[in-house]
Amino acid sequence: MRIFDKKMDALKKLSWEEFYKTPMKKKLNYFENNGRMFDCLFAQQFTPENLARLFEVANKIRKIAKSKEGLDWLQTLLSHKRAMLYFVQPSTRTFVSFQSACYILGMQVSEIRSTSTSSELKGESPEDTIRTFSSYADMIIMRHFEEGMAEKAAWMLNRTKRPISIINGGSGKDQHPTQALLDMYTLHLSFLDKGGINNKTIVMVGDLLRGRTVRSLTYLLKHYKGVKIIYVSPEYLKIGNDIKDFLKKHKMPYKESGDLDKELKEADAVYMTRIQDEYDINGESKNIDFSKFHLTKKHLRFMKKHAIIMHPLPRRQEIEIEVDDDPRAKYWRQERNGMWIRTALIAYITCIEDKILNI
């Protein structure tokens, strides 16, 4: 059982409703063990120090995995551990990259990809389903349509005699911390020879109101000096007030705009997103003209030569296929980066990263 200090003991006694309403800053330590990340639930858990550490580990894993001998060695590191991939919200990239990350480190993997294939179809609660998984796995990586469910799973299991780590692979409209992690890794790699991420202008485009990747990435950008964010969206899909309050609190310069052509000229990185119509209540997305927020080949001539184009994927029409051939288009590399940085995250949470770095 994990050992909690007096402050954490007080949190442990709260009901879920009370805990969920507790300010983020006061409860982050609840998801740590001996001062390091135990559960990965929020982008706010990442610090400049552990980001740098994760980037270093990911780079080393990539290097080791280039040879059969190296990959065979990596697969011995967690061959005694089991992971459950509990993905009951549609996913391609997040699921496959986490599955691949587990395989790289030798973890045995089980999966549930729909509530229709579990006892939830018979009326079992998600909480009981998660408790069941914890009997068979050493880690649960989950993606859930219900906001806060990953946090609830971690809160619940940390109160038991057999707590296991929870990694949030996407939680409703709320957060997607590991997408933000791979986005930061992509920015880091792209700007290594251009002064790093500091003092760069990031233009985020699309459905900013409901896009959890934009929210999580904003939280991480606060760790870099002089970063400016320009949010470009239709009026109805503007970034939420909670994010604007966060930016003001941390004195991060930002701007809101509806003019993609104009803002592209300033961009060091353009972060495109699709319209999140799965969160529509009455089909309201059909009434929004999204065409002015599509990136086409003609836009490329407005952009800086060193600028990069990113997208968390999947895409629809918001990036023209012809853009793919431009060397500034990084979204397919961004996708592959996700596998390596998620491998590094699993290594970090399971405390084996020193073995990797010291080989």
Query: If you search the block for the tokens 């990953």, which residue do you land on?
Result: 150
| Nearest of 52, 42, 324 to residue 179 by alpha carbon | 42
Q: Which H/E stretch holds residue 271?
A: strand 269-272
Cis peptide before 327 (omega within 30 of 0): no
Q: Is 212 a catalytic residue?
A: no
Q: Which of 27, 60, 143, 311 is catalytic?
A: 143
Written as one letter, the residue type at 168 is N
Which of the 8 DSSP states describes residue 256?
A: E
Q: Is 94 a catalytic residue?
A: yes
Q: Which of 6, 66, 122, 286 is catalytic?
A: 122
3-state SS, residue 27:
helix
Q: Which of 2, 62, 82, 93 is catalytic?
A: 93
The number of angstroms, rounded, from the C-alpha of 90 to the middle of its chain's C-alpha atoms is 15
Q: Which of 176, 215, 238, 342 is catalytic?
A: 176
| CB contact set of 23 (below 8 Å; sequence gap of 6+) | none
Q: Is 92 a catalytic residue?
A: no
Q: Which of 81, 94, 144, 342 is catalytic?
A: 94
Instruction: Tell me whether strands 228-232 and 269-272 are parallel, antiparallel or unpaired.
Output: unpaired
- Are 216 and 245 in contact, with CB atoms under 8 Å apart? no
Q: Is 131 a catalytic residue?
A: no
3-state SS, residue 175:
strand
Sheet holding 201-205, edge to edge: 254-257, 228-232, 201-205, 269-272, 308-310
Q: Is 176 a catalytic residue?
A: yes
- Catalytic residues, which ones? 93-94, 122, 143, 176
